[in-house]
Amino acid sequence: MSPRLQDELKQTRPWASLYEEAALNIARTAAVLEHTLAQTLKPHGITPTQYNVLRILRGAGGDGLCRNEVGERLIRPVPDVTRLLDRMEEQGLIDRRRSDTDRRFVTTCITPQGVALLEQLDGPILRFHQSCLAHLAEDQLAVLIEILETARDGC
């Protein structure tokens, strides 16, 4: 069994409330999962946010998405989607095209190189998710998902 968050953080005083303890447990768990994901992606030269963008664009298909749509779909919002996309375009993972009818509208698409990288990562990422959560039964995972979705409704 994992240590309680209070012990893990060497917290000597009790939490101010059960709400605080729950919120901090969610934050700590998310941080641990994201750090582990970052370590999985590091050898491939991308961050969890870049991985998220690639998955979003692969799911969008050949039509791609505008910058705002990409930003709205991110798991963890970032303040400057344009700069994120600039870096990914420099890496050859995405391509941006201006509309012929409205030059202000720019569509972002995943490149064949980006698709190839995702295909290379599909197995390792599946194993990452399984290794982090394999100790939970399927019914526990379903309850966890429901609880987290309900918790987000409060925000």
17-26 average pLDDT score: 94
Q: Which amino acid is at 64?
A: G
5-31 average pLDDT score: 93
Q: Is residue 8 part of a domain?
A: no
Domain hosting 47: range is: 16-150
What single-letter DSSP state applies at residue 102?
-
Predicted TM-score (pTM) of this structure? 0.89
Where are the strands (E) in 78-141, listed by range? Answer: 94-98, 106-110
Q: Is residue 9 part of a domain?
A: no
Q: Is residue 11 part of a domain?
A: no
Looking at residue 40, what is its pLDDT? Answer: 94
Q: Is residue 155 part of a domain?
A: no
**Does the pLDDT at position 101 exceed 90?**
no
**Does the pLDDT at position 100 exceed 80?**
no
DSSP-assigned states of every residue in 42-70? GGGT--HHHHHHHHHHHHHGGG-EEHHHH
Q: Is residue 63 part of a domain?
A: yes
Report which of residues 99 and 124 the model is more confident about: 124
**Does the pLDDT at position 1 exceed 70?**
no
Distance CA 85, CA 3 (A): 39
Q: For the chain, what is the mean pLDDT?
A: 93
Q: Is residue 7 part of a domain?
A: no
Q: Is residue 2 part of a domain?
A: no
66-78 average pLDDT score: 95
Beta strand 65-66 pairing with 106-110: antiparallel
Looking at residue 94, what is its pLDDT? Answer: 97
24's CB contacts (< 8 A; 6+ apart) are 5, 15
Q: Is residue 27 part of a domain?
A: yes
Looking at residue 105, what is its pLDDT? Answer: 83
What is the count of structural domains for the chain?
A: 1
CATH number at residue 132: 1.10.10.10
Report which of residues 142 and 105 the model is more confident about: 142
